[in-house]
Amino acid sequence: MTLRRGYQVAALFFVGLGLFMIWESRTLKYYTVLGPGAGFLPFWVGAILAGLSVVWLVQVTVGRAIDTPEDFIPTSAGARNIFSILGALVLCVALLKSLGFSLTMLGFLAFLLHALGRQGLFVTVVVSVAGSFGVRYVFEQWLGVFLPKASIPFLTSLGL
Q: Per CB under 8 A, which of residues 7..36 are in contact with another protein?
A: 7, 10, 14, 17-18, 21, 24, 28-29, 32-36
Q: How far is 67 from 78, CA to CA, in rounded Å? A: 21
Q: How near is the Cβ of 100 to another protein at its closest, in Å?
A: 11
Q: Is 160 in the site for another protein (CB under 8 A)?
A: no
Residue 88's CB is within 10 A of a number of other CB atoms, namely 17
Task: Closer to another protein by CB, 145 or 154: give it.
Answer: 145
Q: How far is 71 from 75, CA to CA, in rounded Å? A: 8
Q: How near is the Cβ of 80 to another protein at its closest, in Å?
A: 9
Residue 158 φ/ψ, nearest 5 degrees: -85, -5
- Contacting another protein (CB under 8 A), which of 19, 22, 30, 56? 56
Q: How near is the Cβ of 48 to another protein at its closest, in Å?
A: 6
Cβ(138)–Cβ(146) under 8 Å?
no
Q: Per CB under 8 A, which of residues 70..129 are in contact with another protein?
A: 71-72, 74-75, 77-79, 81-82, 85-86, 89-90, 92-93, 96-97, 105, 108-109, 112-113, 116-119, 123, 127
DSSP state of 28: S
> Angle CA(6)–CA(77)–CA(131) in degrees, nearest 5?
105
Radius of gyration of the chain (CA): 24
Q: How near is the Cβ of 103 to another protein at its closest, in Å?
A: 14
Q: How near is the Cβ of 85 to another protein at its closest, in Å?
A: 5
Under the phi-then-psi rule, with left for phi > 0, alpha for psi from -120 to 50, and beta for the rest, what region is 99? alpha
Q: Per CB under 8 A, which of residues 34..53 are in contact with another protein?
A: 34-38, 41-42, 45-46, 48-49, 52-53
